[in-house]
């Protein structure tokens, strides 16, 4: 029998099992008591009957209407003897006569054939005036009582146990039927009662299930209605009240987090927007100073070159922050057919020019692969993946870019055989400002703000796609899946 898992099923099964145990105990007690009572009544009847019938066998007594042509050992005194009464005479432990009173109008007593085992069992009955049960092969079970005869012999009188056994078996049958019906009725009614009693808990479980299916990490989330209130004096009512209070705290925390994230996004967007102008101005003035025709000291020239380089880097960082802020705000991207095959060719060509020391390999399908989305943003995401592979691996590293169509999805993979991503930063590699400074760097690597892979994840999410990372020493793969254009 499978073990029940739900609380409702366990309570119902427990109720039925307890009732079954109680019914079994009552039934066994009733059967034993009835069997003992009927057996004692049979012993009383044997005591009242005495040894008249077996004594008549000893003295060859005659039936009142017997005929002279009968043998003496076939007659006995059957007056006031119940049909089926057994009479046995033993002399020196050996059975000399054994007969039973016939039923109906039969006048001739019935001689009982005894086996050696039957004779031994009868001879072992103690002469104590008490009833004992003996199994006679030709008569089944008998209740017998032994008394001393007049000539030093032993007289045994017996009555059949069949009426007692039939009554006990009938009680067992009736009890089984009644208790079975009671268990069935109790199981059905108990299941309905337990179900009705646990309705508040079921509603709490349903509410918890709906809450568990909500994307609580996605921002503003509308929690489902609270679980209905139940009797606060019951355990289920206290659970429902505590669960509703917990949902209230969760909703407050989510609201506060969403408000905080909105403030941070607004600040990042505003700050990025405001920084673009002064950064561009600083960069312009530095480039203008470098174009001055007059003599400029080498130290000033070096300083102006560093100002120009850092201004360019800051300008790229500001653009990245502004892009992330726009993606966070859910601003729609351009939706147009994009030939991803040509996009991969262009991006790898640019990466080969930027990193000639790496070995670049392409694995493209024969047919063009098309997706729907913003071509500029997809190119930027792919360029960031290639720049990440180039910047964080040593010269000579092999970088393989593969593209294939897998059913309704497009799979793009960027694989390199570099040192791999450190294990402690893999879980947050697509989070903002996560820097993989512990990866080996090529000549031109390092110094990133940690926004490149965050932009990849945000762009792909805006296109309904995903990006994953599998990395170990000597093998790092960034896998991209995008919905394919039908």
Q: DSSP of 198-224, one letter per residue?
A: THHHHHHHHHHHHHHTS-GGGS---PP
Calculate mean pLDDT across residues 117-130.
88
Query: What are the angstrom distances between the C-alpha of 208 and each of 246, 252, 325, 475?
Result: 11, 17, 33, 42
Q: pLDDT value at position 69?
A: 39
For the sheet with 398-406, list strands across it. 359-363, 398-406, 409-416, 475-483, 466-472
> Is there a contact between 175 and 189 (Cβ–Cβ < 8 Å)?
no
Give me the pLDDT at residue 33, please. 92
pTM over 0.85: no
Q: Which residue has the higher pLDDT, 320 or 349?
A: 349
Q: What is the mean pLDDT of residues 212-225?
A: 67
pLDDT at 249 over 60: yes
Give the HSE-up count for residue 88: Cα atoms under 13 Å, Cβ half-sphere.
28
Q: How far apart are alpha carbons 72 and 57 in whole angstroms?
A: 8
Once rounded to an integer, what is the mean pLDDT over residues 60-65?
42
Q: What is the pLDDT of residue 200?
A: 75
Domain boundaries, the chain: 1-48+163-197, 50-160, 214-331, 336-483
Token pair 């925390």 in the structure block, residue: 253
* Least-confidence region, from 227-241, 292-306, 448-462: 227-241
Range list of β-strands (E), 206-349: 336-339
Note the pLDDT of residue 377.
Answer: 86
Count other Cβ atoms within 10 Å, centred on residue 306.
Answer: 11
Residue 242 backbone dihedrals phi, psi, to 5 degrees:
-65, -40
Considering the chain, what is the average pLDDT of its residues?
A: 80
Residue 415: is its pLDDT beyond 90?
yes
pLDDT above 60 (res 73) = no
Range scoring the smallest mean pLDDT among 59-63, 355-359, 364-368, 443-447: 443-447
Task: Judge whether residue 414 has pLDDT over 90.
Answer: yes
The DSSP bridge partners found for residue 98 are 88
- Does CATH number 3.30.565.10 belong to domain 336-483? yes
pLDDT confidence of residue 68:
39
334-358 mean pLDDT: 89
The pLDDT of 72-76, averaged and rounded, is: 45
- Is the CB of residue 376 less than 8 Å from the CB of residue 441? no
Residue 58 in this model has a pLDDT that exceeds 70: no
| Residue 459 to residue 467: CA distance in whole angstroms | 10
Q: What percent of the chain has pLDDT over 70?
A: 80
Q: What gap in Å lies between CA 285 and CA 74, rounded to an integer?
A: 146
Residue 367, H or E segment? none
**Residue 170 confidence (pLDDT):** 93
Most confident of 232-246, 284-298, 335-349: 335-349
Confidence at residue 354, expressed as pLDDT on a 0 to 100 scale: 87
Q: Report the pLDDT value the prediction gives residue 444, as an integer from 0 to 100.
A: 38
- The residues near 51 (Cβ < 8 Å, ≥ 6 apart) are 147, 149, 155, 157
pLDDT tier, 66 (very low <50, low <70, confident <90, very high otherwise)? very low
166-186 pLDDT per residue, tens: 999 999 999 999 989 988 898
Is the distance from CB of 454 to CB of 432 less than 8 angstroms?
yes
Q: Residue 32 has what pLDDT? A: 92
Q: What is the pLDDT of residue 74?
A: 44
What is the model's pLDDT at position 28?
Answer: 92
What pLDDT score was predicted for residue 61?
44
**Residues contacting residue 236 through CB under 8 Å, at least 6 positions apart:** 197, 198, 200, 201, 204, 230
Average pLDDT over every residue of 113-135 = 89
Q: How far apart are CA 104 and CA 111, in angstroms?
A: 16
Least confident of 181-185, 255-259, 379-383: 255-259
Top CATH class of 214-331 equals: mainly alpha
pLDDT for residue 279: 73
Q: Between 265 and 380, where is the model more confident? A: 380
Higher pLDDT, 220 or 186: 186
Q: How far apart are CA 395 and CA 397, in angstroms?
A: 6
Provide the pLDDT for residue 67: 39
Range of lowest pLDDT (265-274, 348-357, 428-437, 471-480): 265-274
Could you please report the per-residue DSSP string of 420-446?
Answer: ---GGGSTTTTSTT---TTS---TT--
Q: What digits encode the pLDDT tens for the residues 17-37?
A: 898 999 899 999 999 999 999
Asked if residue 448 has pLDDT above 90, the reply is: no
């Amino acid at each position: 029998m499978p073990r029940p898992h739900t609380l409702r099923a366990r309570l119902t099964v427990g109720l039925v099992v307890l009732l079954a145990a109680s019914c079994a105990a009552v039934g066994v007690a009733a059967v034993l008591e009835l069997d003992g009572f009927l057996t004692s009544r049979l012993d009383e009847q044997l005591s009242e009957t005495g040894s008249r019938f077996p004594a008549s066998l000893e003295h060859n007594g005659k039936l009142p209407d017997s005929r002279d042509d009968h043998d003496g050992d076939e007659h006995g005194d059957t007056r006031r003897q119940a049909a089926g009464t057994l009479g046995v005479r033993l002399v020196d432990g050996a059975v000399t006569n054994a007969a039973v009173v016939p039923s109906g109008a039969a006048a001739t007593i019935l001689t009982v054939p005894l086996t050696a085992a039957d004779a031994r069992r009868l001879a072992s009955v103690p002469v104590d005036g008490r009833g004992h049960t003996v199994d006679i092969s030709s008569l089944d079970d008998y209740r017998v009582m032994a008394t001393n005869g007049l000539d030093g012999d032993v007289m045994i009188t017996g009555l059949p146990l069949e009426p007692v056994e039939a009554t006990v078996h009938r009680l067992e049958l009736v009890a089984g039927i009644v208790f079975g019906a009671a268990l069935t009725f109790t199981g059905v009614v108990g299941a309905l009662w337990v179900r009705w009693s646990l309705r508040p808990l079921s509603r709490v479980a349903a509410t918890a299930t709906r809450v568990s299916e909500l994307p609580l990490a996605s921002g503003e989330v509308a929690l489902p209605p609270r679980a209905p209130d139940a009797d606060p004096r019951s355990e289920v009512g206290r659970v429902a009240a505590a669960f509703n209070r917990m949902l209230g705290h969760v909703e407050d925390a989510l609201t506060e987090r969403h408000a905080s994230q909105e403030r941070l996004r607004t600040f990042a967007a505003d700050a990025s927007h405001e920084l673009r102008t002064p950064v561009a101005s600083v960069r312009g003035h530095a480039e203008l100073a470098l174009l001055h025709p007059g003599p400029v000291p080498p130290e000033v020239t070096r300083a102006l070159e560093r100002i120009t380089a850092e201004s360019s880097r800051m300008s790229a960082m500001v653009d990245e922050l502004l892009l992330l802020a726009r993606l966070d705000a859910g601003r729609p991207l351009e939706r147009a057919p994009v030939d991803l095959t040509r996009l991969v060719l262009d991006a790898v060509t640019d990466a080969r020019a930027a990193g000639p020391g790496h070995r670049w390999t392409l694995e493209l399908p024969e047919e063009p692969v098309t997706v729907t989305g913003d071509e500029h943003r997809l190119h930027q995401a792919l360029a960031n993946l290639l720049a990440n592979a180039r910047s964080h691996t040593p010269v000579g590293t092999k970088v393989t870019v593969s593209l294939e169509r897998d059913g309704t999805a497009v799979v793009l993979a960027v694989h390199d055989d570099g040192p791999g991503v450190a294990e402690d930063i893999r879980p947050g590699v697509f989070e903002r400002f996560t820097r993989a400074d512990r990866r080996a760097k090529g000549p031109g690597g390092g110094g990133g703000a940690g926004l490149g892979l965050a932009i990849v994840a945000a762009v792909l999410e805006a296109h309904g796609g995903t990006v994953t990372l599998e990395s170990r020493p000597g093998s790092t793969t960034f896998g991209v899946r995008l919905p394919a254009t039908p």
